[in-house]
Amino acid sequence: MGNHRSSTVAGVVALALLSGCPTVDLGDTPSDIGLCNPQGGLAYFQAEIWPKFVGVGQCTKAGACHSETGGNALSFKTMPIDFPFNYRQTQIYLNCGQPMASELLTKPLAGQDPHGGGDIAVPVDVFVQWFM
């Protein structure tokens, strides 16, 4: 009987000690952990990358390959344009360690990765500036 009583007392003491420890809620794990976030961030994406790099030509017009109705990678929201969502879509195709190796850049460039939409002239300088 003594063993049972000492284990009960130990359990109560342990519970009392643990109940005094505060629990810290750090919230949800941010969904962008591990994603590349260029120096210029969303503001540069919206002001420079979207109009000069992504939103040009037939890439994102209604029914185009990279709009929500196109069904291809990136599936940008264009009706209306949702810049935070579209920025997050591009982050998947960025390489912060080697920006020039980013698929967002290499896919449309001639002679790089195969691109179903063909080669597209893109302003490389605008892209590179995003990372500085």
Q: Domain containing 98: what range?
A: 41-129
Can you give the pLDDT at residue 116? 60
In this structure, is residue 28 part of a structural domain?
A: no
d(C-alpha 95, C-alpha 118), whole Å: 22
In this structure, is residue 1 part of a structural domain?
A: no
Question: pTM of the entire structure?
Answer: 0.64
Per-residue pLDDT band at 44 (split at 50, 70, 90):
very high
Can you give the pLDDT at residue 76? 78
In this structure, is residue 72 part of a structural domain?
A: yes
Can you give the pLDDT at residue 98? 93
In this structure, is residue 104 part of a structural domain?
A: yes
Please state, in angstroms and as integers, the Cα–Cα distance from residue 22 to each residue in 7, 26, 31, 81, following that order: 25, 13, 26, 44
In this structure, is residue 63 part of a structural domain?
A: yes
Can you give the pLDDT at residue 99? 92
In this structure, is residue 94 part of a structural domain?
A: yes
In this structure, is residue 79 part of a structural domain?
A: yes
Per-residue pLDDT band at 78 (split at 50, 70, 90):
confident
In this structure, is residue 31 part of a structural domain?
A: no
Number of folded domains in the chain? 1
